[in-house]
Structure 1
Amino acid sequence: MSFEIPDDCRYMDSHEWVRVDGETAHVGISDFAQDELGDVVFVELPSEGDDLTQGDSFGVVESIKAVSDLYAPVSGTVTEANEALFDEPELINDDPYGDGWLLTVELDDESELDDLLSPDQYREQIE
């Protein structure tokens, strides 16, 4: 099976992605991760204004198969949580890089992106 791995994102070993636009970063879980989880039924996310530290857990995604912690790919302040997921968690399955995004974060340190996997490195990891 072939998974979508956008070239404009960086990835964590734990399958979170980050897409940077200026000083703002969108965060979500990868196509591979949503496929492994199965049907997502619940998401727990931090609130606007919460601080994230790279590598620390920031929430939970629950599927019919498993409960998985979510880890911050970057440090920063949460500027928005995707509230649509509270009513429609299946958006993560349907569109993990689009409507199924989890958070937007104001970046503390852009150099942290260097610690993440490139799209090619992530592809190698999940193959």
Structure 2
Amino acid sequence: MELFAAQLADRIRVKGPGHPGVLSTRFQIAVWTSNAGDPVRAIELFTQLLADSIRVLGEHHPHTVATGYRLGLSARAAGRLDLAAEQFAVTHDEWTNRFGPDSPQARKAGELIYRIKAE
């Protein structure tokens, strides 16, 4: 984690905060934060990153959609089912439009929405 933080500081200094490489490093830090068992902090990181990704890349960019999906996973892990369902619905719509309703991506998002409603 410390290496990602150092890399992030270097990338921001050299390329600026809106560079795609900076966004990618921030994504990795948020993923590892969630994987390390801190979904609440990961929600904060993904929420900030999602806003910046929408601003820099656009709301339909695959990296933006992936950020929203990971935000949904962290929200579900933290028990924030309302936020998780919202993010999975957006992801489902994006992946359905991009890959089709029978794609593995769209099916996975739809399955997660179904599971949240059952919880």
Shorter chain as denominator, the TM-score bin is under 0.3
The structure that is helix-richer by fraction is: 2
User: Which structure exhibits the higher relative contact order, with contacts defined as CA atoms closer than 8 Å and separated by 6 or more residues?
Assistant: 1
TM-score normalized with structure 1 length: 0.24
Larger radius of gyration: 2
TM-score normalized with structure 2 length: 0.25
The structure that is strand-richer by fraction is: 1
